Structure 1
């Protein structure tokens, strides 16, 4: 479970970093809160942060349920796949949103596998 805890911390710190990126982009673009439009780069960075938050609502519970009832090493590995997928997604989305598929698919597959294995572990 130490591995899963470590991966959880990585994911939380990654999200905090994405939040900091939003603040920096907002400042650089001169966009005052609560506005969320007006600069394309800022909007892309904000979307990365918001999409990551949406994904974490699936990833974190699935990660821990999978770890507890199925396999902590598998869960931790899928958490790392999700983490790397988010990095790829971030870089691609900020550069050109049409190129974000690889990172998004990595995270999606990791989440599906975590969920399926969590259900399997709980049921069987």
Structure 2
């Protein structure tokens, strides 16, 4: 069982929960009454960080696990940590200004592509008996 990938998965989930707490706090701080998700630009950026992370989780988690199972647990987990780092950079940049989100976004997107390639390579190697 991919133990390192399991730990990284939990870290990703904890980071997502952290982002959820930031959205809840921003509702109060910027006076955006539920169920509204618009109103103050700083609130909207925090909300988009949370939602964009949610949008990427269904891409990240399956590719992370398929890469771990079919190729290598440690490599997948290391890439998963880089993905989390990219999401943290995305969070830190986007909180300041929309334009500052790009480096973190690119890091996490590239990691997902590498995980996808790793998963495909692992699956094909198993099919071919390698």
Asked if Structure 1 and Structure 2 have the same fold, meaning a TM-score greater than 0.5 normalized by the shorter chain, the answer is: yes
Which residue is 1:53 aligned to? 54
Determine if the alignment matches structure 1 residue 39 to structure 2 residue 43: no
Q: 2 CA distance for matches of 1:104 and 1:32? A: 29
Which residue is 2:75 aligned to? 74
Determine if the alignment matches structure 1 residue 117 to structure 2 residue 118: yes
Q: 1 CA distance for matches of 2:116 and 2:71? A: 11
Which residue is 1:15 aligned to? 16
Q: Report the structure number with the largest CA radius of gyration.
A: 2
Which residue is 2:109 aligned to? 108
Q: 2 CA distance for matches of 1:75 and 1:69? A: 10
So what's the TM-score if we normalise by structure 2? Answer: 0.93
So what's the TM-score if we normalise by structure 1? Answer: 0.97
Report the Cα offset of residue 86 of structure 1: 0.4
Secondary structure (helix, strand or coil) at the match of 1:44 reads helix
Unaligned runs of 5+ in 1: none
Which residue is 1:28 aligned to? 29
Unaligned runs of 5+ in 2: 126-130
Q: 2 CA distance for matches of 1:56 and 1:98? A: 22
CA RMSD of aligned residues (A): 0.7
Secondary structure (helix, strand or coil) at the match of 1:6 reads helix
Which residue is 1:63 aligned to? 64
Secondary structure (helix, strand or coil) at the match of 2:39 reads coil
Report the Cα offset of residue 28 of structure 1: 1.1
Report the Cα offset of residue 123 of structure 1: 2.0
